[in-house]
Structure 1
Amino acid sequence: MRISSNDKRSFLPTTLPNGLKVLLVSDPICRKSAAAACVNGGHFNDPEGIDGLSHLLEHMLFDGSLRYPDTNGFDQFLSQRGGCVNAWTGTEYSNFHFDVAHEYLEQSLTLFCDLLFYPVFDLQGISREISAIDAEFKLKINDDLRRLYQVHKETCNPAHPFSRFSVGNQQTFSEYSPNQLQKALHNLHNSLYTPENMTLCVISQSSLDDMKNAVEQAFTDVPRKAPVERQSYPPLYLESQLAVLIKIKPIKVARRLIVSFAFPDVQDLFRTKPLEYISHLLGDEGQGSLLWHLKKCDWVTNLSAGGGINGSNFKDFNINMQLTERGLNCLEDILNALFYFIKQINQGTGEQWRFREKVLLGQQCFDFTESAKPIDEATHLSTQMFHYPTEEWLSGDHVVSEPDADIVEKCIAKLTPSNMRLKLVAPDLHTDKVAKWYATPYKIEAIETNLLQRLNSPDPVENLHLPEKNPYICEQLSTQPIEKHNLIPKQIVKQQNIQVWFAQDAQFSQPKGDCFISFDCKAVTQGAAISAYKRLWVAMMSEHLNDLFYQAGVAGLHYHLYAHQGGLTIHTSGFSQKQLQLSRQIFSLLHQDIDLSDRFEQIKNKQINNLQNALLNRPVNRLFTRLSGIVQRYTYPPMELLEYVKNATLEDIYQVKKSLFSDYYIESFLFGDWTHEQACQFAKHIESEAHNSSAPEAIKRDVIDLKNSKRFVNYVDSQHNDAAAVVYLQIPTANSHDVALTILVEQLFATPFFNELRNEKQLGYLVGSGYLPLNQHPGMVFYVQSPDYSMSKLVEEIELFLNSMIAQIGDFEDIWQHVRRNILKQLVDNDTSLSVKSQRLWLSIGNQDHQFNQQNALATAMNNLSFSDVVGFCQRLNEPNINGQLVLLCPGNKPSDEPIDGEIIKDLHHFKSHASYVI
């Protein structure tokens, strides 16, 4: 296997006697053990007439197995041991994955094997899971991506399995009795869930030998079966389905043009990656690029290239553009520019330096990739084991080992008008069809011959050209010498309104780093208008920076300018060699008076659309947005911001920018592969460029004190049919003791809450809970979104659950230490990547934790908890004069006549301006 020279993990690929391919990964710093099993089977394998059966099979595997028949038994086992389990069903693959505390890996693998190979398919469970799938289907009925996907299915070859309905719902399954479905599930499972048709990836701190023994103990006894017969499919598109325009009406305000080119499967070209080469050039965003030209013409605001569906005999290559209103009327000009640029790409294949850049960037990405969460990494690798030969399981996604201009040219030859499908998404299009299941209005029509001919010989476009050599690529990457006294963050600048911190990283030994520069601006305390205008200016400035520095991101040097409650922040990350130079340039540009007038109307319209579309978000999402807007002093709901954005003028934006930078407090942090001298030089630049200011400290991130004799209630309008309820419990203080109790009790409640309200009572598909700190103040939240029940019913059920748990908390004495031990392990474990560590240290600086021991203090508090502390905490949960309570509600299409008990927040501005804030 090809392994990066910087990868400190150990790997063992092996195959069990029954044919199961296994990849074992020993990672000494991973926080949890994880495993993922991938099955070479998905909804393409649904039997004729039972659409969604593979999806139902996925659900049923969690409904009990031969040796462990309890419904969701594996989920409960993992949740009590610091883990979780999940799964997905795709077109041709399905994946099941879990994580757990290291000491329970062996036992978990045994349970996992039983789940995968020995399900019981209980008849009652079948009915229950059909209801869950139906709720999942209803949840996505107004999802524009899902609606677009269904139109795609209806406009391809009906003989191809891609055309079929993959999700399933009550209607598709109701045509069959539970006994018939049970038999069909057995048949599908027996045909696909065989060791030779699956892969397994396991990641743990354990040694490779111990993992190998655990896997063999769990999986070796699974019998080998007859090989799965591989299916062959007809072409994805008929000839009449190419060179077509498909018009689609969305629910949210959107104007998009998706240009798709039909390819056969290109998986075997992974060593050359021709489509990545093409998408790299088409997706460029610097000056002279296709997007740069389309923006200048005010036709397009965003462009991405290279995505699209793919499978064993097809691949769509997509160019996805967000259109302006003007662009909607200039489609032929947009397409002309696209095909002219494709012609330039073809002519540029003789420039060998472009291939050398792509090879170098791919190798650097592979050599210096930061580890993902073990559960995500295992899921990804178990799927890649089907796509690449063993020696390329790790490198196949990144490394270009065989660059080939001829292969690239052959792929470019398929980017022709006659091989194209256009999808136009806009609100006011004329349509004549409605897609099944998601009721999407659409129309498909042939593209006019005259247009196809014009695009075959596109008119030249002035100033449109391929990108120059990338000045940000680092040819040689090596790390700086480590000085022990620099390993703990220290202030290297401490002035009235400027603080700069620096530390080196000795843990990950990568030539990378993170640089944060945060501006806390006094002007943000003046209300929502400043926040709205600040968002506009940040968006406009981000576009300007993208024109200048897009190539930096391509070279692995990333930058992000974002607004927050106190002001705004520049965050750069990635390779350290040229990063501080980039940070200094951005810092200087922010202080300059730059003419952004050519971007104003476009960005303003985009912001208006985003804020209006926020009103169409899922009810639960809307409630969480409102929760932040109520509790946090300087956070405002979309509706309040929308009015200011609609009426904003360019002069407003320039005036707010001036106000923001006239009085600010700067906090900066450099962490990674830099020397103390380099950090000091950077700090001197910040000092010399910064404006004089009287702001002596950061803006306080206040939260409203919700303690009251009654809880507070807020109703949120929604255009969604589902009702939703969120119950937020604000804990009295943010000391380590209260934080530890909040985290622990939420973990104790989480699995029972999900199982009772979603699985047993089937209130809806979106059910959950979480520890929710707002501005670092602890809280717990419980939420349900339902297509069938009113908001008052949802609140009633959440209250019943909480009351029941409080009454029965004594029953948790046997498992609470189990849960606490797993939380403690997460708190004291090492950071898993340089970026995770830098974010943790930056958060500590923001929280004034200058000893950088907040996590240790929390671990100590967690370790010192007694069960009587837990009992007392739970008994006080429902007392609003101790724990603040806020209930947020969306009525959906089932408004309730039953009043929700509490003090109703009618005027949010009045409420926040007269509220007390937590000290």
Structure 2
Amino acid sequence: MLFSSRYSTFLLLVILAVATAAYRINMYSPTNNIIQSPNDQREYRSITLENGLQVILVSDSEADKAAASLAVNVGSGDDPSGRQGLAHFLEHMLFLGTEPYPDPGEYQDFISKHGGNHNAFTAHDVTNYFFEIDNSALADALNRFAPFFISPTFDKNYVEREKNAVNAEYTSKSKDDGRRIYSAEKQAMNPEHPYAQFATGSLETLEDRPDSLIRDELIAFYQQHYSANEMKLALIGNYDLDTLENWVKEKFSAIPKRDVAVKAPRPDLYIKDQLPLDLQIEPIKELRQLKLTFPMPESLSQYPYKPLQIISHLLGHEGEGSLLALFKKRGWAEGLSAGRGVSTPWESTLSVQVQLTMIGLYRIDEITAAVFAYIDLLKAGLQDPEFIKRIYNEQHQLAELAFANQEKSKAGHYAIRLTNNLRHVPPNQVIYADYQWLTPAPDILKPYLDQLDAKNLVRVLIAPEVETNMLDPWYDTKMMLRPAFIKTETATKEPMLRPEYKVQLALPSANPFIPESFSLTDAQAQTVPKTLIDQQGLRLWYYPEQEFRLPKAKVFINLHNQDVADNAKDRIIAQLFSHSVNEIISSYTYPAYVAGLNYQLHASGRGIELSMSGYHDKLDVLLDKIVETMASLTAENVSEEEFKRYQAQLKRRLENQLKAKPYERTVSELRRWLRNPSFSQEELITVLDTVTLDDVLAFNERLKRSLYVDIYVHGTLEPDAAKSISDVLLNAYQPSGERISPAKVSKVPNTLGSNQYLQSIDQQHPDTAASLYIQGQQFDATSSDEGMTSDKARAHYALLAQILSSPYYQWLRTEKKLGYIVSASPFPQNAVPGLVFIVQSPTTDTNGILSETELFFNDFNQQLAELTLEEFEDHKQGLISRLTSKKKNMAEKVGHFWHNIEVNRLTFDTNEAIAAEVETIELADIQKLFTSSVIEKKDPRLLFSHSINAPEVNDKSAWKDLTQVNKADLEKL
């Protein structure tokens, strides 16, 4: 979803325009005419092969990971009639064998061995395949990737198996409100339009029929649409451009160029004579939302002017004078967003979404009227040349700042972005198009503004309380669709919005947070953070960024409070305190967000956490406001009525967590049980009802007296600027407490023969989910067994997971058809190692999942015995690569250091130390560990299982009831 942005004063914009333009002119270094950021030292080249495949090559001499993404101009919108989901099914099938590499697990296994990851997605008009891998393995990865588009096998056996995986993906989301609401919204669309069709696929839509075998249709669809000239490829690696180009020509030139038919003209997305429409949808979760959707002309071709983005920016503004500010003041809404929805080369939609309070649920006509009152302001502004110039200048300056200070992202993500952009913009604009803001002539905006009309509206109301009279055909979503009479002043000839409300609406004013200073620190470089202050109750860490020389900073502030760590009621109070502060300052801080300065304030298991990131100029101004509001929170700032709304909002969020996907619930309950202390959603909901506003205000006073503060400042700031941040905290609080360690990890009881524990979760969902956790006690860090350290233990279990993850996925998902969601991975909790095996299945129960998992363990024991030393070394290097992957940007570097500070590992070498231990492991060590831990079950197990009736496992004697274990009596690791 696209969210809105904001603006600043005209004088400041003029100053910035001069400064930034000069900065750009001197620093741009286009390669092969591709416009790139002055902060981007990579080399680019655009080529087109003889078969029509268009390619962007990226040579990155600093990268340790390579990536590729290939986008095909075909998606679910091209599914044949009656074969919904065929494009998606085809996407699945390409992973399951090619002529050079027929083994269906070979591609995934190769990527995993070499420190990589892979995936694909099918959208309405595009299918994208991508991977990321160690640089050294790029050529061999391409050898396996290119045949997807040249010679897939469409093995008959796996066609039948993979239909079940597609169906499992469909059923796994049958209770997901996002998917259910999306499907219901399609019922309001023109049924002749491809977008209105079911896209995932099911056993019903993909079944063999007397006159139509699904494998034949897959091959026909592939041959019809998978043509080189309908594809875009991006390739990124630590190789020179000539090498990358030669590989592309060598490996992708065999993709056939087919005679692809020009796509037929499309009907309108909505039948215009039927608009406006009212659609009511009943969700599963406690969700109340009003969504106003306007069909629009296509906007992709207008990327230099971004018409829908500018409209969304204005409608979705959250500062003073905004719709959201009015709605919050009236108690009607908790949030609002605006942005582009459908976006294809043929059409677009623009939506305004309002997160309603219970009061707002019964004010939808007034809310709708307010939106149209704001649209009137917006239209007037965007027809005024001076306003257009001001608003676009500000967007232009903010975008230029972002472009000039662009940082690297993960290679795989970047490759996807390049292929997506290449579908819609010229090669030389493939990077810059996202940042380009040209001031449009009024006639460019007019076609879009004209569609912001009450007669061109689909109004969707989502709430448990709505009236319904029909079911969506694919997800059984309860809904009602009917013609709408949108009450506007034009239609009724009378005021729909009270004048005192209307005068509170205004277009955004100047943005005071646009940065003016771009200074960089001259502080001496450091290898790790150092303390500038270490005193009773406070520790200040500082790291001057010299590698990523950008005018940015990241600040973490942890306010530790023992009461929050120890009891459920204070956890809830801390959440309500944070929420109250956020609400008070939301209008003030929104312009900072627009200007690239973000903050988050929330409760944690140890107290309150505040983080800030972005341009360092004005960071002190924002911090002053946040801390001042925290320290001065009183009943004058928060009314009893507002507090009740915040309380209801938190209760709804906690209740909705109990309706998460089955596998998510099992993992959440597993984490909660392992952490000590921790509290269930049910416990938190119970105490929530007892908390008062006086409790929250009293907590603020307690916080001032009983507190430990950990601060970390990272960026191009001087040491004095870092110290000034601690001064702000010291002026508001008197920290004198002790640092609180992260929650301990409960040691699962491990009496041989009685070390398996089961907890069932009852939830209304047709799938069964199970998370089997094996706690790594074979190399307990507290024992002297073989002198194993925690790092060594974590290294062993992580390497074991690295080796078995791909075979487990292939066995249970591809071979046994248990479900779409299958994974095996390391599951360290703090420094305690472990493994977790997760399955969500529409076809079997807990016993079936356990049975197949045990069969896999026995089979894998033999696979491990036959593993070659070469294969073992590949796995080792793949894991080491993941652990020691080069930090691509400041955010990754900050995250690494802050994690070490949080766990108090002040050598700052967690990943490096584990990687060093991996290097020393022999194959025999892993074989021994698997036998002992998994086959002989010397490591204890926890099984969290979900199904509608929460069934027990067959062998009750082997599994103990986890609810009967008293966590208070357990040793804490």
Q: Report if TM-score (shorter chain) is over 0.5.
A: yes
Alignment of 1:31-46 (within 5 A): 31-46=64-79
Structure 1 unpaired stretches of 5+: none
* Separation in structure 1 between the aligned mates of residue 861 and residue 937 of structure 2, nearest angstrom: 17
Distance 1:128 1:486, change over 3 A: closer
Matched, 1:744 2:831: no
Q: Give the structure 1 partner of residue 432 of structure 2.
A: 395
Distance 1:804 1:879 in 2: 11
Deviation at 1:894, TM superposition (A): 7.2
* Residue 461 of structure 2 is aligned to residue 420 of structure 1: no
Structure 2: gaps of 5 or more residues: 1-33, 782-789
> In the TM superposition, what is the alpha-carbon distance from 1:262 to its structure 2 partner?
0.9
Q: Distance in 2 between matches of 1:549 and 1:833?
A: 25
Say if 2:470 is the partner of 1:433: yes
Which 10-residue stretch deviates more, 25-34 or 399-408? 399-408
- Structure 1 equivalent of residue 227 of structure 2: 194
Give 1:497's aligned amino acid: G
Find out whether 1:699 has 2:744 as its counterpart: no
Work out which of the residue numbers 626, 633, 647 in structure 2 matches 1:604.
647
* Structure 2: distance between partners of 1:455 and 1:613: 39
Q: Using the alignment, how far apart are the partners of 2:120 and 2:141 within structure 1?
A: 16
Q: Is 1:617–2:660 an aligned residue pair?
A: yes
Partners of 1:300 and 1:323 within 8 A in 2:
yes
CA-CA distance at 1:404 after TM superposition: 4.0
Amino acid at match of 2:328: K
Q: What is the match of residue 598 of structure 2? A: 558
Pair 1:679 & 2:722 matched: yes
User: What CA distance in whole angstroms lies between the structure 1 residues aligned with 2:305 and 2:201?
Assistant: 38
In 2, the alpha carbon distance for the partners of 1:851 and 1:204 equals: 32
Mapped pair 1:826 → 2:869: no
1:422-442 alpha-carbon deviations (Å, 9 max, x no partner): 011111222222111111121
Please tell me whether residue 802 in structure 1 is matched to residue 857 in structure 2: yes
Residue 463 of structure 1 corresponds to which residue in structure 2?
504
Which SS does the other structure have where 1:812 is aligned? coil
Deviation at 1:338, TM superposition (A): 0.8
Which amino acid counterpart does residue 718 of structure 1 have in structure 2?
Q
1:725 to 766, 770, 777: 770
Q: How far apart are the structure 1 equivalents of 2:953 and 2:797?
A: 34
1:478 CA displacement: 3.0
Following the alignment from structure 2 to structure 1, what is the Cα–Cα distance between the partners of residues 709 and 271?
Answer: 60
> Structure 1 stretch 796-805 or stretch 456-465: which is displaced more?
456-465
Aligned-pair Cα RMSD in Å: 2.1
Taking a change above 3 Å as real, the CA distance of residues 455 and 67 of structure 1, as seen in their structure-2 partners, is farther
Does residue 708 in structure 1 map to residue 765 in structure 2? Answer: no
Cα gap change, 1:123 to 1:808, in 2 (>3 Å):
closer
TM-superposed CA distance for 1:271, in Å, is 0.5
Per the alignment, residue 191 of structure 2 pairs with: 158
1:893 to partner: Cα distance: 4.8
Deviation at 1:861, TM superposition (A): 1.2
Counterpart mapping for 1:10-49 below 5 A: 10-49=43-82
- The answer to whether the 8 A contact 1:707-1:882 is kept is no
Q: CA deviation at 1:451?
A: 4.7
Alpha-carbon spacing, 1:786–1:347, altered in 2? closer, same or farther (3 Å):
same
- 1:561 deviation in Å? 0.9
Query: Following the alignment from structure 1 to structure 2, what is the Cα–Cα distance between the partners of residues 12 and 248?
Result: 49
> Do structure 1's residue 811 and structure 2's residue 866 form an aligned pair?
yes
Q: Secondary structure at the match of 1:785?
A: strand
Residue 106 of structure 2 is aligned to residue 80 of structure 1: no
Amino acid of the residue matched to residue 292 of structure 2? V
Shift of 1:646: 2.9
Kept in 2: contact 1:504–1:673 (CA 8 A): yes
1:217 paired residue number = 250
**How far did 1:55 drift?**
1.4
Counterpart of 1:495, as a letter, is Q
Bigger shift: 799-808 or 337-346? 799-808
Q: Which amino acid aligns with 1:589?
A: T
Q: 1:672 to 1:894 in 2, by over 3 A?
A: closer
Alpha-carbon distance in structure 1 between the residues aligned to 2:582 and 2:858:
49
Secondary structure at the counterpart of residue 782 of structure 1: strand
Cα distance, 1:346 vs. partner?
A: 2.2
Q: TM-score, normalised by structure 2?
A: 0.91
Is contact 1:258-1:422 (8 Å) kept?
A: yes
Q: Does 1:259 align with 2:292?
A: yes
**What does residue range 536-575 of structure 1 map to in structure 2 within 5 Å?**
536-575=576-615
Q: Is residue 208–residue 214 contact of structure 2 (8 Å, CA) maintained in 1?
A: no
Match for 2:540 among 474, 480, 500? 500
- Tell me the equivalent position of 1:763: 818
Q: Any idea what SS the aligned residue of 1:716 has? A: strand
* CA shift for structure 1 position 204: 1.3
> What is the identity, as a one-letter code, of the residue corresponding to 1:905?
L
Question: What secondary structure sits across from 2:708 in the alignment?
Answer: strand
Structure 1 counterpart of 2:558, one-letter code: S
Alpha-carbon distance change, 29 to 698 in structure 1, aligned in 2, over 3 angstroms: farther
Q: What is the Cα deviation at residue 700 of structure 1?
A: 4.1
Determine if the alignment matches structure 1 residue 688 to structure 2 residue 744. no
State how far apart, in whole Å, the 2-side matches of 1:407 and 1:878 are.
65
| TM-aligned CA deviation for residue 503 of structure 1 | 1.1
| TM-score relative to the length of structure 1 | 0.96
**Which residue identity does 2:88 align to in structure 1?**
H
User: Relative to structure 1, is the Cα distance of residues 641 and 146 closer, same or farther in structure 2, using a 3 angstrom cutoff?
Assistant: same
What is the alpha-carbon distance in structure 2 between the residues aligned to residue 72 and residue 223 of structure 1? 25
Give, in whole Å, the separation in 1 of the partners of 2:873 and 2:808: 19
Match of 1:244 in 2: 277
SS in 2 for 1:174: coil
Q: Is the 8 A contact 1:42 1:94 kept in 2?
A: yes
Secondary structure of the corresponding residue to residue 209 of structure 1: helix
Q: Is the 8 A contact 1:789 1:894 kept in 2?
A: no
| Paired residue secondary structure (1:825) | helix
What residue number does 1:902 align with? 959
CA distance in 2, matches of 1:82, 1:5: 30
What is the aligned counterpart of 1:363 among 400, 423, 429? 400
1:643 alignment partner AA: T
Q: 1:263 to 1:663 in 2, by over 3 A?
A: same
CA contact (8 A) 1:708 1:880 kept: no
Matched residue, 2:417: 380
CA distance in 2, matches of 1:485, 1:15: 44
The one of 523, 532, 552 equivalent to 2:572 is 532
Query: How much does 1:5 deviate?
Result: 1.0
Moved more, 716-725 or 798-807: 798-807
What is the alpha-carbon distance in structure 2 between the residues aligned to residue 685 and residue 331 of structure 1?
43
* 1:697 alignment partner AA: R
* CA deviation vs aligned residue, 1:76-117 (integer Å, no higher than 9, x gap): 222222223211111111111112211111121121111122
Aligned match for 1:589, one of 626, 629, 633: 629
Distance 1:401 1:450, change over 3 A: closer
Query: Partner residue of 2:26?
Result: none
Please tell me whether the aligned partners of residues 262 and 316 of structure 1 are also in contact (alpha carbons under 8 angstroms).
yes
Distance 2:489 2:665 in 1: 44
Instruction: Compare 462-471 and 649-658 and name the one that shifted more.
Output: 649-658
Q: 2:101 aligns with which of 49, 52, 68?
A: 68
User: Is residue 761–residue 950 contact of structure 2 (8 Å, CA) maintained in 1?
Assistant: no
Residues 704 and 915 in structure 1, CA contact (< 8 A), matched pair in contact too: yes
Give the Å deviation of 1:680.
2.6
Match of 2:966 among 911, 914, 917: 911
Amino acid across the alignment from 1:254: L
Q: 1:450 to 1:873 in 2, by over 3 A?
A: closer
How much does 1:879 deviate? 8.2
Shift of 1:655: 2.9
Between 333-342 and 280-289, report the one with greater CA deviation: 280-289
Deviations 1:544-575 (A, max 9, x none): 23232111001000101122211121100011
Q: SS of the residue aligned with 1:213?
A: helix
Q: What residue is the counterpart of 2:902 in the other structure?
A: 846
Displacement of 1:289: 1.3
SS of structure 2 residue aligned to 1:171: coil
Over 3 Å counting, the alpha-carbon distance change for 1:115 and 1:593 in structure 2 is same
User: Relative to structure 2, which stretch is displaced further, 321-330 or 361-370?
Assistant: 361-370
2:459 is paired with a residue of what secondary structure? strand
